[in-house]
Structure 1
């Protein structure tokens, strides 16, 4: 085939109440954002203010009317604790409380290291935090959030906790600094964390209101609950511990800076799904968004939005996978329409001063405003993710093939649904860079079986936009999937041209005749245009029984 730092963890915690929700249940929200820091050692951020505004819109779409917002200088340890305490007083059985934090995160040497939490504490530095002259009012350790929620919020109140911050990780694939446009939400570098030791902090200051009736716990004492100590807590993190979580201009350059997982969450609950009445995170089209559905959707979206550099994680109590996240599903309020990506052409002549009328892109004023950079001298195409995505691109026709392919991928990205199946790339995964001659194995993994027959259609969009039909071929018949947990699709080695290939798999309840006919006609050609519309039609026709997976394969010397 043609093969072609925000040290962070955005945490999404969903806590559902016990039992059925009463008719009077309300949604309430506490939104906290820190963009500006007083210490010269902590860089300011552009994204949190935009994130908080977006979360307020989302909260209102969920019916929230009781919304408390704390921003920048108003954010202290006491103000956050008091907001949670007071919200507990106002909340009633069956309510949802959305707690949201956006800003930097960090880690420091643990005051009491143990086998469970390791040698470091994760904490949130607030605007006044200074690693040298620390004030306990200027930071919050992650366990403090759990202690306050366990103490001040009754267990029959559902909590949705979103913490868009950072603590540890690294990049698994080197970045090209010419176009890397992501910003790390990182307060301190990993090595600096070894030198930071937090001063003693006070325990809960206020009296317990609901769930926490632990004997001997009084205001001023330090309770040390962990995530698993809250039996009704579902937790989604923005990235694995060995990765970075990022913020960027989303969905493209020129747009506001956003935390990637926050942006994905807003889309998950605001874009229309297969039945148009419920959001796109309703992956099976039954009118509900369950814990496993929103976790699966966010995982795929975060991976694609960050070029596989970040992957969200999901933890939930046993038996909670199919539990609805909300009592009522929000009505979709956004559209799938995306503007054409911005392109900067370096070394262009007068004939390339403007984009062709029918181009799948628009010309950027500078490289800093570009989603893609075409370097005529080296014949490379770079993306704002910090990757060379195509090489050997020497003509307008060749560049048009590259951009047609990317327009198709960008259009399909919000529609990815990997609850039932997912493409995998081995042996290094999709976040690695594969060099020339490196072996590659592509497989289709079944993550959920049953529900009737499924027919798989798999093709590759090579780095230069060439379409390659992979499955089904002659001996594969109609491509009906069996009950095998994994089906091998391709074993090969990397050869030029280098860049990024996109492997696309669609599983449908019926044979997608029109799509397969189009793929046969386009096979071996730069002809990605029109494929996205056919796939979208099949997903809509499947009404929750169809799945779409996209794997990215990065190659280069």
Structure 2
């Protein structure tokens, strides 16, 4: 279906094209990746979509693409590697590759280990009985995994992975581990099935005990079996989820292909390898944690929270360089040039599916400024409009109740604006979060918003309401914009209308006078679609600008 008419299309289309072009330019112009210790760079990259012994509901769509993306990023950074995909990904192959990495790596080398696919929890294996306080082992599952028979052994257990990386650490080899899998996480809020089906990277269930008892692990010492990752100074570890979150496969993460389903952690690790997180400069452990955690949280609508190790406050540990680069820096985010009469079909539209009603209803809505088109299925949609119940839903969350044709345009603008701002923020990451992450708040709750890394910086914070209204939260007086502490906190009030508010924070070494003048002219107006281009202009003029977003989810009752 062609784009439905809307206001301000030429400018917004040009902005969308420019943002997408920036991402592509980064992929082609990345710096060379070096080992922090001066040695060689090695990598083992695995992605598994296809599980031959599991049913249709357990098959994945984005894990192989994740592995390919990381491998391509490494190739662009001068590290040639072929990822191991799908049926080629077996326990035997993984064990062989890990053993080779350990024997071939020398002090000062750098090893990257990345896995995208299913994870799971099982009762502890007899070989390691009593080591884990909760009597549980975690494991990643390869393509031949099954709940019984030989497939039960197609796994690598967390104890084995720890033993391998302990051996690398003992050789003074730097190690970066990315496990884009889910092992036990639960969601802090429900998922509205009217929007789409959410696939997570976790296998639920247990293998037959008799088969588990037959499992033959790699040889290791008791000390290696008891290794804690945080004790390994050369190891940086990122797992896809904390105990309170999941690893969803999510569309819309990659602006080069918004329909492509991906894992958020792998996607942003690939961007970090390209140099996006640091503009081609060396990337410290602290900066990598901040870049991955914030961007993954934003991209998944606060459903996925990255687990990191070492989780310490030691400055020396956090300042350790994880990704070292040489060569030309990546081009920073620029304000897009406005091209005359851009092709409307390339304007990065919001895809809308209508349920419990006819798609023809979209023709009669009060349109906003952002482009949109009709989607045949909620599975391919950015926004779902339940016409009968008057709900607007984005990625499993009810954004707003009582949405009729007069309000939908504002919801579309809001959805488009948040996506555009998040694209701008990828290389300018500012840590923004709620103290209790990802939960549904009800009246009487006391949510706390936290913006980190803002000491001696000028801070601007505003809200994009569900209907697209802009609301300035801070500063109320421009003389208060300079922050004295590293963290700034704010306590929003939970009140009607319920749904989703999205808070945007921006911090700079310079006063935000021009942006605040613009914002004051649009404050309390449904002008969400215009704010992304204004932030792009701000970013072009101010290389010190950092941006972050977070969603505040509210309801009339606890779900």
TM over 0.5: yes
Residue 300 of structure 2 is matched in structure 1 by: 306
Whether the aligned pair in 1 keeps the contact of 2:119 and 2:203 (CA below 8 Å) is yes
In structure 1, C-alpha distance between the alignment counterparts of 2:317 and 2:359, rounded to whole Å: 59
In structure 1, C-alpha distance between the alignment counterparts of 2:368 and 2:458, rounded to whole Å: 38
**Structure 2 counterpart of 1:322, from 302, 305, 319:** 319
1:344-378: CA deviations, max 9, x gaps?
A: 23434747359979642222233332111122322
**Structure 1 counterpart of 2:44, from 9, 30, 49:** 30
In structure 2, C-alpha distance between the alignment counterparts of 1:359 and 1:280, rounded to whole Å: 27
Residue 161 of structure 1 is matched in structure 2 by: 177
In structure 2, C-alpha distance between the alignment counterparts of 1:295 and 1:419, rounded to whole Å: 14
Residue 246 of structure 2 is matched in structure 1 by: 244
1:276-297: CA deviations, max 9, x gaps?
A: xxx3312xx6822211111101
In structure 2, C-alpha distance between the alignment counterparts of 1:468 and 1:127, rounded to whole Å: 49
Distance 1:34 1:514, change over 3 A: same
Distance 1:44 1:136, change over 3 A: closer
SS in 1 for 2:49: coil
The within-5 A match list for 1:55-454 is: 55-65=70-80, 67-110=81-124, 111=126, 112-114=128-130, 116-134=132-150, 137-151=153-167, 155-189=171-205, 192=206, 198-204=212-218, 225-228=227-230, 230-251=232-253, 255-270=259-274, 279-282=275-278, 287-316=281-310, 318=314, 319-328=316-325, 332=330, 339-346=348-355, 347-348=357-358, 350=360, 352-353=362-363, 359-383=370-394, 385-395=395-405, 397-416=406-425, 422-425=431-434, 429-435=436-442, 437-447=443-453, 449=455, 453-454=456-457
1:94-132: CA deviations, max 9, x gaps?
A: 332222222111111113344655210001222333323
Q: CA RMSD in A?
A: 3.5
In structure 2, C-alpha distance between the alignment counterparts of 1:484 and 1:153, rounded to whole Å: 36
1:271-326: CA deviations, max 9, x gaps?
A: xxxxxxxx3312xx682221111110111111112211111122237422122222
Aligned-residue offset at 1:445: 4.1
Residue 519 of structure 2 is matched in structure 1 by: 519
SS in 2 for 1:299: helix
Whether the aligned pair in 2 keeps the contact of 1:342 and 1:362 (CA below 8 Å) is yes
Q: Are 1:457 and 2:460 an aligned pair?
A: yes
SS in 1 for 2:385: strand
SS in 1 for 2:324: coil
SS in 1 for 2:185: coil
In structure 2, C-alpha distance between the alignment counterparts of 1:521 and 1:357, rounded to whole Å: 18
5+ residue gaps, structure 1, are 1-17, 206-211, 271-278
Aligned-residue offset at 1:196: 9.0
Distance 1:28 1:420, change over 3 A: closer
Distance 1:541 1:375, change over 3 A: same
Whether the aligned pair in 1 keeps the contact of 2:451 and 2:488 (CA below 8 Å) is yes
In structure 2, C-alpha distance between the alignment counterparts of 1:238 and 1:107, rounded to whole Å: 14
In structure 2, C-alpha distance between the alignment counterparts of 1:105 and 1:478, rounded to whole Å: 50
Aligned-residue offset at 1:70: 2.7
Aligned residues: 502
SS in 1 for 2:53: coil
1:454-505: CA deviations, max 9, x gaps?
A: 22212111111111112222xx342333424554544423112x22111112
Aligned-residue offset at 1:527: 0.8
In structure 2, C-alpha distance between the alignment counterparts of 1:547 and 1:399, rounded to whole Å: 30
Distance 1:203 1:193, change over 3 A: closer
Where is the helix percentage greater, Structure 1 or Structure 2? 2
Aligned-residue offset at 1:32: 1.9
In structure 2, C-alpha distance between the alignment counterparts of 1:392 and 1:510, rounded to whole Å: 41
Whether the aligned pair in 2 keeps the contact of 1:438 and 1:493 (CA below 8 Å) is yes
In structure 2, C-alpha distance between the alignment counterparts of 1:417 and 1:69, rounded to whole Å: 25
SS in 2 for 1:493: coil
Distance 1:129 1:268, change over 3 A: same
Whether the aligned pair in 2 keeps the contact of 1:430 and 1:553 (CA below 8 Å) is no
In structure 2, C-alpha distance between the alignment counterparts of 1:266 and 1:173, rounded to whole Å: 29
Aligned-residue offset at 1:183: 0.8
1:323-354: CA deviations, max 9, x gaps?
A: 22223168659999982221123434747359
1:162-188: CA deviations, max 9, x gaps?
A: 222221011111111111343111111
5+ residue gaps, structure 2, are 1-33, 337-346
